[in-house]
Amino acid sequence: MQILKSKRPWLALLPALACASAQAEKSTVESVGDGVLVALPLSAWAMTYHFDDSDGREAMNRAFLTNLGITFALKYSVDKERPDGSDNQSFPSGHTSVTFQSAAFIQRRYGWRYGLPAYAAAAYTGWSRIDADKHYASDVIAGAAIGVLSSLYFTTPYPVTLSAGEGRYGVNLTLEW
């Protein structure tokens, strides 16, 4: 069993930051949101490899596919026009559902230390969709709810092991949620 004890939790989000910064060169809010759409799920999957967490990987896959299924089923059945009039697939926001599903997975599986920056990136993506006139706030809120609920359903917290260090006396504690 791996011990979850990184001194630099932001390192696990480097794929998200790299993609987002590459998109930032376009200097538009929308393109950064598009970068986070790709980078956040990649970061979630990368974390499952970093922590050698095959159970987490399976949970991420199930949550991701469930989220996409629900999101696209609603997009094609609700038939809501986008604010910019480009098509009738406004509800719910797919960008938001994917990024919030990934953020919720990271937070639920590995804790708030990793989840908080992931949620910040997901919130930025949701805001970018409103700012780009691709979605109404209700579309973004619904996408976020679908994403979070998909991850909460399939994801359990990663088992954390705490123990005393060398030269110290203490009690070993294993905590599983």
Average pLDDT over residues 147-173: 73
Cα separation of 22 and 26, whole Å? 8
Q: Which pair of tokens denotes residue 99?
A: 């990024």
pLDDT of residue 175: 41
pLDDT for 26 equals: 42
Q: Mean pLDDT across the stretch 99-106?
A: 98
CB contact set of 12 (below 8 Å; sequence gap of 6+): 6, 43, 46, 47, 50, 106, 110, 114
**DSSP bridge pairs for 162:** 173
pLDDT at 17: 60
Average pLDDT over residues 67-85: 96
Asked whether the predicted pLDDT for residue 148 surpasses 70, the reply is: yes
Instruction: Specify the pLDDT at position 158.
Output: 84
Within 8 A by CB and 6+ apart from 70, the residues are 97, 146, 150
DSSP-assigned letters across all residues of 44-84 = HHHHHHHTT-HHHHHHHHHHHHHHHHHHHHHHHHH-PPPTT
